[in-house]
Structure 1
Amino acid sequence: MRETIFDEHAMRLLLASKGLTIEAWAKALNISKVTLYRKMSGESDFWRDEIQKTCEFVEEKSLNYIFFASRVT
């Protein structure tokens, strides 16, 4: 069975490659760092508008490979 997950490692690499921080990303989403960490760990889901804002923040058209990664279980 395939499960869709958020690829935290890929997102951290993308942020680092662009010189961006978790703090700046949280600010761009208008949420706290704690809330963002909960979303990244899978405790809470990302909303569609947060995914869109993230694409704008990192200047990428699509981040499906990060937000909709597959994990075989």
Structure 2
Amino acid sequence: MGIVIRLDRVLAERKMQLTELAKRVDVSIVNLSKLKTGKVRAVRFSTLEAICRELDCQPGDILEYEADE
């Protein structure tokens, strides 16, 4: 399975909408939506840093590795 994006879980825990996060990190809602659904192949460290700053979390809270079985 590989890398799994858990942004939706962290947003729910923080009771924050994707639109609010997009405004706070100055990233388009479309790009954050693609990240949330795992439809991206890369994420900039600066974007990841901004997301973690605004959500008060660690990168490992958003990104997880799941081995293929």
Secondary structure in 1 matching 2:46: helix
Equivalent in the alignment of 1:57:
54
Distance 2:56 2:66 in 1: 26
The alignment's TM-score, normalised by the length of structure 2, stands at 0.73
Alignment partners' CA distance in 1, 2:2 and 2:20: 29
Q: What is the CA distance between 1:41 and its match in structure 2?
A: 2.2
Instruction: Specify whether residues 57 and 34 from structure 1 end up closer, same or farther in structure 2 by C-alpha distance, changes over 3 A only.
Output: same
Give the superposed CA RMSD: 1.9
Q: Runs of 5+ in structure 2 lacking a partner?
A: none
The gaps in structure 1 that reach 5 residues or longer are none
- Residue correspondences, number: 67
After TM superposition, the structure 1 = structure 2 runs for residues 1-73 of structure 1, keeping only pairs within 5 Å, are 3-7=2-6, 11-44=7-40, 45-60=42-57, 62-67=58-63, 69-73=64-68
Deviation at 1:65, TM superposition (A): 3.6
Give the % identical residues. 15
